[in-house]
């Protein structure tokens, strides 16, 4: 807690931010109106990684009380690749538990599951008509996911995925979309689609902007610092899962690849050390330059050992809370049901507006 004696270790978890800071009228209609609407989401395709936490979730939590926040478990996106239905159900509950465990406040944020709000797929169909095949085909993530695959085996959903993501964002008159670097291109496509629709059919959508963190927008693999940390990597040593036990976390970091030389510096020719320093900086709240100074004269092993402790310590309370939410499905469902209801309140009128503009709202009565 702030005001207590500071932790003297080189790497200690940053003091939590995101408390209401004594602002009593934070949820008054006037205050909410002035704050930017924020929307973001995570796919329930597996247990989340430290990359998801550093690049996205941590920033959502830190900023939640300065904005008007909506966070969604985007399970409609997850079926664009083959996934076992039981696993999808479990992952959906787990991602929602992670949202709560990392500190998203369900009293303040709208937290919901995408498939509970059919307006998402409804608007995606409308946006299909103003998005070009060439635009979708050029998306880096589509190219990466389909590289070396026969097109026959690639679902149309995978190609259309960014349209659904655009629908997610545009349904809520979103101003800001906090994401990691890899999602920037999708948010830019969403902007293009919104601008095009507004140009063709009249002002309908707010044009959003991506918000990419300064530190940790792209956490790299522990076994190869040229690749993004991702749970799809076949080597489990390449990523840290939010549910990895402390000894596994320490071991994975101890085995992380390093660079030649001995100096602990975030230099261009030291991508592996730069990645470890980035994680350390994000989780401790210390600037990279400060960490470089503090590690001057020390060995790579020191940094890896301290980082193992820092990550394990940061994740320990989160893991305890994930387990608590997973063990209480009734509570989880109540929170998500309420979130879906609130989300539909906003999404319904936006979809109706878009359908009206494009001519799908056909009644002369204007209904
Ligand atoms: P997803 O589920 O792949 O990732 C969720 C978030 O985590 C970030 N992220 C990372 N950040 C830093 N380093 C990494 N190694 C790393 N890996 C993942 C991602 O950038 C993302 O912010 N299409 C999205 C989900 C989505 C969405 C949306 C996001 C669907 N609709 C609307 C925002 C708004 C996705 O697949 O993220």
pLDDT tens-digit map of 93-113? 999 999 999 999 999 999 999
Closest to 51 measured CA to CA, from 239, 194, 232, 189: 239
Which of 71, 92, 142, 180 is the best mutation target for the ligand 1 pocket, counting ligand atoms within 8 Å of the beta carbon and taking the most? 180
58 lines ligand 1 (CB under 6 A): no
CA 362 to ligand 1 centroid distance, Å: 37
- Which one of 184, 209, 231, 305 is the catalytic residue? 231
Over residues 339-344, the mean pLDDT reads 98
Assess whether 184 carries a catalytic annotation: no
Q: How far apart are alpha carbons 361 and 192 in whole angstroms?
A: 24
Q: How far apart are alpha carbons 266 and 273 in whole angstroms?
A: 6
Backbone φ and ψ of 54, nearest 5°:
-70, -40
Residue entry with tokens 């995978």: 158
pLDDT of residue 122: 98
Assess whether 231 carries a catalytic annotation: yes
Within 24-84, residue ranges assigned H as helices are: 29-34, 50-52, 58-63, 75-78
pLDDT of residue 365: 86
Return left, alpha or beta for 314; rule: phi > 0 is left, psi -120 to 50 is alpha, else beta.
Answer: alpha
Assess whether 148 carries a catalytic annotation: no
Query: Could you tell me how far CA 285 lies from the centroid of its own chain?
Result: 19
pLDDT tens-digit map of 22-68? 344 555 666 556 899 999 999 999 999 999 999 999 999 999 999 99
Q: How far apart are alpha carbons 147 and 239 in whole angstroms?
A: 22
- Which one of 149, 214, 227, 228 is the catalytic residue? 228
| Residue 189 · residue 199 · CB < 8 Å | no
Bigger pLDDT: 1 vs 171: 171
282 lines ligand 1 (CB under 6 A): no
Lowest mean pLDDT among 22-36, 63-77, 178-192: 22-36
3-state secondary structure of 145: helix
Backbone φ and ψ of 100, nearest 5°:
-75, -40
**Domains present along the chain, CATH in parentheses:** 22-217+329-358 (3.40.50.620), 236-324 (1.10.240.10)
Q: State which ligand 1 atom lies nearest to the alpha carbon of 39.
A: 34
Could you give the percent of the chain with pLDDT greater than 90? 86
Residue whose Cα lies nearest atom 27 of ligand 1: it is: 41
Lowest mean pLDDT among 22-31, 162-171, 187-196, 213-222: 22-31
pLDDT tens-digit map of 229-280? 999 999 999 999 999 999 999 999 999 999 999 999 999 999 999 999 999 9
CA 363 to ligand 1 centroid distance, Å: 39
CA 21 to ligand 1 centroid distance, Å: 29
CA 274 to ligand 1 centroid distance, Å: 21
275 lines ligand 1 (CB under 6 A): no
pLDDT tens-digit map of 124-166? 999 999 999 999 999 999 998 888 777 788 899 999 999 999 9
């Amino acid at each position: 807690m702030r005001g207590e004696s500071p932790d003297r270790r080189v790497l200690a978890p940053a003091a939590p931010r995101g408390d209401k800071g004594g602002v009593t009228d934070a949820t008054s209609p006037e205050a909410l109106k002035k704050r930017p609407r924020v929307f973001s989401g995570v796919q329930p395709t597996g247990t989340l990684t430290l990359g998801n936490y550093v690049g996205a979730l941590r920033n959502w939590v830190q900023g939640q009380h300065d904005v008007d926040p909506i966070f969604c478990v985007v399970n409609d996106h997850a079926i664009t690749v083959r996934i076992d239905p039981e696993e999808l159900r479990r992952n959906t509950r787990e991602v929602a538990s992670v949202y709560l465990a990392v500190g998203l406040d369900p009293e303040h944020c709208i937290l919901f599951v995408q498939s509970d709000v059919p307006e998402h797929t409804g608007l995606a169909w409308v946006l299909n008509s103003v998005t070009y095949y060439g635009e979708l085909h050029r998306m880096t993530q589509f190219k990466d996911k389909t590289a070396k695959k026969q097109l026959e085996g690639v679902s149309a959903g995978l190609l259309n995925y960014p349209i659904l993501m655009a629908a997610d964002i545009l349904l809520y008159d979103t101003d800001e979309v906090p994401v990691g670097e890899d999602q920037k291109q999708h948010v830019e496509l969403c902007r293009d689609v919104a601008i095009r629709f507004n140009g063709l059919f009249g002002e309908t959508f707010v044009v959003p902007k991506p918000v990419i963190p300064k530190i940790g927008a792209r956490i790299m693999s522990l076994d190869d610092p040229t690749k993004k940390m991702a749970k799809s990597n076949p080597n489990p040593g390449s990523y840290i899962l939010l549910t990895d036990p402390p000894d596994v976390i320490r071991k994975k970091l101890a085995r992380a690849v390093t660079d030649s030389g001995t100096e602990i510096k975030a230099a261009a020719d030291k991508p592996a050390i730069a990645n470890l320093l980035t994680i350390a900086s994000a989780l401790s709240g210390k600037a990279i330059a400060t960490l470089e100074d503090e590690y001057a004269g020390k060995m790579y092993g020191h940094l890896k050992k301290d980082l193992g402790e820092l990550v394990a310590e940061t994740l320990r309370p989160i893991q305890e809370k994930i387990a608590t939410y997973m063990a209480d499905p009734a509570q989880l469902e109540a929170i998500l049901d309420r979130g879906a209801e609130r989300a539909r309140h906003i999404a319904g009128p936006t979809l109706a507006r878009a359908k009206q503009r494009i001519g799908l709202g056909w009644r002369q009565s204007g209904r």
